[in-house]
A and B are shown apart, each in its own frame.
Chain A
Amino acid sequence: MTGAIIQALLSHWRRHWLQLATLLIGIALATGLWSAVQAINAEARASYQQANDQLALGLFDELRDPSGPIPVERYVSLRRAGWQVAAVLEGPLRISGRTVQVMGVDMVAYPALPAVTQIEQSETPPDPADMLTAPGRLLAAPDLAQVLRGQSGLPPILTSDTVPPDLILTDIGAAETLLDKSGQISRMIVLPDQPLGVPPLSEIAPELERIAASAQLDAASLTDSFHLNLTAFGLLSFAVGLFIVHGTVGLAFAQRRAMIRTLRALGVSMRRLIWVIMAELTALALIGGTLGLILGFFLAGALLPDVAATLRGLYGAPVDGQMSLQPQWALAGLAMALAGTMFASGHALYRLARMPLLTGSGVQAWRVSALGQRSAGLIGLALIGSGFGIGLAFNGLVAGFVMVGGILTGAALTLPYLLSLALSVFHRRARGPIAQWVWADMQAQLPGLSLALMALLLALAANIGVGTMVSSFRLTFVGWLDQRLTSEVYVTATDNQQGQQIAQWLGQQVDAVLPIRSVELTHETGPLFLYGIVDHQTYRDHWPLIASSDDVWDRVLTGEAVLINEQLARRAGLWPGDTLTMNTGHALTVAGVYSDYGNPTGQAIVSMPQLDQIAPGADTRRFGIRLAPERATEVTQALRDQFDLPRRAVVQQAAMKAQSLAIFDKTFVVTSALNVLTLGVAGFAILTSLLTLWTQRLPQVAPVWALGLTRAQLARLEVLRSVLLAALTAVLALPLGLVLAWALLAVINVQAFGWRLPMFLFPADWVYLFVLTLLAAFAAAALPALRLMRFPPADLLKVFANER
């Protein structure tokens, strides 16, 4: 009996193979986009975690010399003073057109690294004498090891899959030779157990800076914003895909009603029918999900190199550009496909289960009552309202997401009602019979298209929202770079004495020499870096203040007040007029707050005399130099030559900016790729809706044709209708996208990262998106329209045929 039911149900798909294909593609797209994003996120996160674990990054305090490498003699003198430190020498190495990072650690002193443990516990552990003495051994992940083995002149390679990608781990002795940096150390890590009676760093190595483990840039937290973006995109894509599934399943169920009624009349119980249909949906979800996984795998594989490059470039977070297939990823993807399909089919199943045996017409009622649309609209409005309410009433990232979710869902539910309102206004104003018919017909068509249009709305809103956020971020970032990097050249001296010499030497030949001095203090909210500044127009003109009081600069420079960065302001709840108390006991009024993107720690600015009073003896080794931009290169070179400074001790502002921006732009390559994909899915949703509506369209169109319109005219009207609906949706998507952008910038970003981005509007982008939307709608309607244009009159006549 079940076999017969299945056969009957499946016969539907044989006759409607396009519907079947649409359904499977919908599931596959939803699963594919979601899984791709998940895979990218998981892969990237696994890479950071691996790198942190494997290289013991961020676990220990570090000593660095801001002016360049540390001589090995300094390491020995620290050791001989009792400081338990371990030396690390790092640097890039170009090997057959690819840049890899070499990390040379003192294998004798450095804490245990998993890669070394793995090698040592292998069946053929290397002789430690070989590891520690020339030529040494290089440890690398399998794929890099393969490349390295093909090179001549390198030490023997050992393979370890616990070494992060694109990194060569080796003893510091081998690294010296490899990098040609004899006697140099990049940084030292401070080991956890220090003996009694160790002299302070300022006495024995004043040029070194101690960087607390907590202050080191943690790749995982920095890249969170990036992953947040990707996840949001993944969810939206999933939702858009589910709209397709919902629409197709609904139509298939409606079309099978007659068959189901017949089956029930023949004695099949509703319970059994529901079970069989559930099994059918499960099978479809699994097939579509599997297709989606394949799609997602390749999509992630295609996008991952970009993501990896971005993360490496932006945050120095090592990410492997290679995808590996994880079983749990595949299982999660299939589960999402299954859950999504069931969720999208729930309504149809529910209606089917409640369908009375004897009533209900064949195909769904053509006109959905205005009441239904209005109540959906009211529910939508309620959702939007409660979304805002939750977002404003509660703090936290979850509340932020609930808000965005509420607004988006609510807006989607309100869309059909708003569209129908707009259409009835146009309808009333229409004069010609064709115009009248077109508007009326669009209104009638709306229920069938509304899901696709909701998908389009979400895709457009996401596009506008994320696009506005990224562009705002970029503009702010550029502005911030301009403001913060005002000096044309930045120089770091080896010590205070040289600093003085440099300042004197520069004094006669440049416009201004602005000392950059800072000390690390603590505040109850965490570390606090206190900077001193001299009075110069540069600060007054350019410093990016987001909140300020009267005479802010005068008050700061006379030592009455302090400026703090946004992070500290938000963390400590300090705003102009409040008082900042430092651990030194000094308390100053906050005169202003400035933006400080990407910096995890608190920062404050006081006048130079004030700095000396609060923390006497801060170094004077760094300077910003103001001069005519065209002289920057010349002065940079002169400084290097005159004071024998290493390259990184003298930096030109223009180069710094260009590099920062290049990195920034790369970050969002993936975002725009996903943007286009989401819009593509929405376009596909329109296409599938139009195709599934095709059979219902003929009875609408045929009488008009019979009354004297050509098929070409009708086809043009079909396209026009689709484009008009898309245009109306796009108009409604604009405010929604801006609300989304506002939520991302002002709520979610603040909750997640502690700083708020100002919002800028980019009307040119909207125009571009609008045109793109019309093109998508045009493309989606083109196929059905073409079909109509070529539809044989004899087939149109069948609509009128008596024996229909």
Chain B
Amino acid sequence: MNVKAWLFVLILLLPSALHAQGYAGLGGSADGFDIPKPGYQFEFPRDHGPHPSFRIEWWYLTANLSGEDGRDYGIQWTLFRSALKPTEAEGWQSPQLWLGHAAVTTEEAHYFAERLSRGGIGQAGVTAEPFEAWIDEWHMRGPDPRALSLSASGAEFSYDLTLTAQGPLVFHGEDGYSVKSADRQASYYYSQPFYDVEGELRLPDGDVAVTGQGWLDREWSSQPLAADQSGWDWFSLSFDDGNKLMAFRLRGGRGDFTAATWITADGAATPLPDGSVSFTPLDTARVAGRDVPIQWRVTLPDRDLQVDVSAITPDAWMATRFEYWEGPVRVSGSHSGRGYLEMTGY
């Protein structure tokens, strides 16, 4: 077992405790850390930056891209913050740990890389103004999140993209207070789902110019999952008619908990309560020794929506310190479009 894995797993608690403790420790207790409360007043640009008094936080960007070669691509750029203690300190003594994940998914392959650092020395971090999130040479940078340059690299790939927001920020749940269980475990959660993306991917087969749409999720909490929740299936779908759907299902011993947000093309967001959306796995693939659903039926009767969601590449497995599936999907049925699917706890 690798020391870094040990560190991160202990930070996020052990995988063996997954069923009792929630996926990757997100169900752990919150001693000393702040807890999200309803009625929070978001303030920007401050809230684009980190919240060290919360245990966990992320800047999570995914994008569905089309190459000049006519093929579909997906990219992921994620920076996780995980706090050992609800404080910040200078130098090596900083209790703030940072974890970066980046991936490029083509129709045939999935490339990913991972970075780990601690705060305090400047190797990784986030500043709100001017906005920059970085770990090593990876960065997501702009005067503010409306216009970003994004880059990451691994041993086999790298990308340089520019992102321009075409719509407003979207707040999930009760004005950004997103409930994650029947016991009202919750997080603060907002998104910027309206990025136009262009840039270049460097892949083992050569460089390819790409354009497409990107979606940034911002979320922080100290204990977003209930102790008996074991993982989630999270969908961000962009339909050809301009509407978007964020929907997730938290799997747990006392039955699934679902939540969703319907986002119209102009950015108006409607939260959809537990049970509004239903998720049915249609097909699974054997990935990394596990059976992972790579084709889903998602129905939202309120909006007359019944779509089949299928992975562009079944093997979009992130074999990182904590492992999960994250990849681009195609949508067909009552609505067509594309999006990203994330599945944890399999």
- A contact set with B: CB distance below 8 Å: 72-73, 75-76, 79-82, 84, 106-113, 116-117, 120-121, 125, 127-129, 132-134, 171-173, 176, 182-183, 193-197
Contact = CB atoms under 8 A, between A and B. Distances in A.
Contacts of A112: 1-4
Interface-central residue, B2, B118, B155, B157, by most chain A CB under 10 Å:
B118
A195 B92 contact: no
Interface residues of B, number: 34
B155 A193 contact: yes
B117 interface: yes
A205 to B, nearest CB: 14
Given A133-B84, A195-B155, A196-B202, A128 B7 contact: yes
A134 B91 CA distance: 11
A80 B1 contact: no
B123 A133 contact: no
A195 B104 CA distance: 14
B11 A128 contact: yes
Contacts of A79: 117, 123, 136-137
A108 B91 contact: no
A113 B1 CA distance: 10
A196 B118 contact: no
B113 interface: yes
B121 A108 contact: no
A128 to B, nearest CB: 5
B335 interface: no
Interface string B116-150: 11100111000000000010110000000000000
A696 to B, nearest CB: 72
B153 A196 contact: yes
A117 B7 CA distance: 10
Contacts of A116: 3, 6
Contacts, number: 107
Interface string B139-169: 0000000000000011111100000000000
A133 B89 CA distance: 9
B3 A110 contact: yes
Q: Which 8 A-B pairs have the closest CB atoms?
A: A173-B92, A129-B84, A82-B137, A195-B153, A112-B3, A120-B6, A76-B122, A196-B158
B93 interface: yes
Nearest to B11: A128
A116 B7 CA distance: 10
B97 interface: yes
Interface-central residue, B3, B4, B91, B157, by most chain A CB under 10 Å:
B3
Contact of B153 (A82, A127, A128): A82
B137 A80 contact: yes
A117 B92 contact: no
A80 B155 contact: no
A622 B218 CA distance: 52
Contact of A81 (B1, B91, B118, B137): B137
Contact of B3 (A84, A107, A193): A107
Contact of B118 (A108, A113, A182, A194): A108
Contacts of A107: 3, 7
Given A108-B117, A128-B11, A132-B118, A173 B93 contact: yes
Contacts of B85: 129, 133
Contact of B121 (A72, A110, A120, A129): A72
Nearest to A171: B92
Given A75-B123, A76-B121, 13 more contacts: A73-B122, A79-B123, A80-B136, A82-B153, A112-B2, A120-B3, A127-B10, A127-B84, A132-B84, A133-B84, A182-B91, A193-B155, A196-B202
A758 B56 CA distance: 68
Interface of B: 1-4, 6-7, 10-11, 84-85, 89, 91-95, 97, 113, 116-118, 121-123, 134, 136-137, 153-158, 202
Contacts of B155: 193-196
Nearest to B1: A117
Contacts of A110: 3
Given A117-B1, A129-B95, A109 B116 contact: yes
Nearest to A175: B92
B150 to A, nearest CB: 15
Given A133-B93, A173-B91, A117 B3 contact: yes
A132 B10 CA distance: 12
B144 to A, nearest CB: 21
Contacts of A76: 121-123
Contact of B84 (A81, A128, A176): A128
20 contacts: A72-B92, A79-B136, A80-B123, A80-B137, A108-B116, A109-B4, A111-B2, A111-B3, A117-B1, A120-B3, A120-B10, A128-B84, A129-B84, A132-B93, A132-B118, A133-B95, A195-B158, A196-B153, A196-B155, A197-B202
A197 B6 CA distance: 29
A250 B114 CA distance: 74
A456 to B, nearest CB: 58
A81 B94 CA distance: 22
Interface-central residue, A121, A134, A182, by most chain B CB under 10 Å:
A134
B272 to A, nearest CB: 38
A80 B132 CA distance: 13
A79 B97 CA distance: 15
Given A125-B10, A182-B91, A196 B154 contact: yes
Nearest to B6: A120
Given A196-B154, A197-B153, A176 B91 contact: yes
A500 to B, nearest CB: 32
A172 B91 CA distance: 10
A515 to B, nearest CB: 36
A75 B123 CA distance: 8
A70 to B, nearest CB: 13
A84 B11 CA distance: 22
